[in-house]
Amino acid sequence: MVRTEISLFLKNAPGELGKLASLFANEKINIDAMTIQDASGYVQELFKARGKSLKRIASVASYNSMRKDSAEFALIRLLVDQTDRATDLLSKNDYVFDIMPVIAVKLENRPGTMAEIATKLGSEGINISYVYGSVSSPDERCLFVFCPENIELATKFFSE
């Protein structure tokens, strides 16, 4: 099922995640899935991609500065149960964020499920930019979030 993921940068400091989560909790917005990573890796990939497709936008010195500064921030990707309300709330509270379509699916919690899906996507020529998920217990299905490069083709794949 196609869902809207919210991506935002958050200062990598004690209490910042608590502030963000409390903001949602106070408005009764549930976080369905979340992943957090040091933003420096994201900035490095962004810089590499720009270097391939365009003339370099930043000098090496400014790139090194960006990489250093980006370690002070975390890249958070999340799914919430009320995306429109969440984005309004983030805007009102001066968060910098972006939204994009992803595919969220509930998978069987058994060895090989991810291998089957990833192999089938690969055989269809669908590249997965990133994936994250969780399991709550051995007996329950798992929620996994896929960000494929071709969302339309991947949607058809998952609907089958």
- In sequence order, what are the residues at sequence separation of 6 or more whose Cβ sits closer than 8 angstroms to the Cβ of residue 73? 9, 10, 11, 12, 39
Question: What pLDDT, on a 0 to 100 scale, did the predictor assign at position 13?
Answer: 87
Q: Cα–Cα distance between 117 and 12 in angstroms, integer?
A: 33
Question: Which positions of the chain have pLDDT values less than 50?
Answer: 51-59, 62-63
- CB count, 10 Å around CB of 131? 17
Question: What pLDDT, on a 0 to 100 scale, did the predictor assign at position 118?
Answer: 94
Report how far Cα 143 is from the mean position of its chain's Cα atoms: 14
Place of tokens 């699916």: 105
Question: What are the pLDDT digits (tens) for 74-101?
Answer: 889 999 999 999 999 999 998 988 999 9
Question: What pLDDT, on a 0 to 100 scale, did the predictor assign at position 44?
Answer: 57
User: What stretch of H or E contains 103?
Assistant: strand 97-107
Here the tokens at position 83 are 């995306």
Q: Cα–Cα distance between 6 and 34 in angstroms, integer?
A: 9
Place of tokens 């933003």: 39
Question: What pLDDT, on a 0 to 100 scale, did the predictor assign at position 69?
Answer: 55
Domain ranges in the chain are 2-159
Fold of domain 2-159? VC0802-like (3.30.2130)
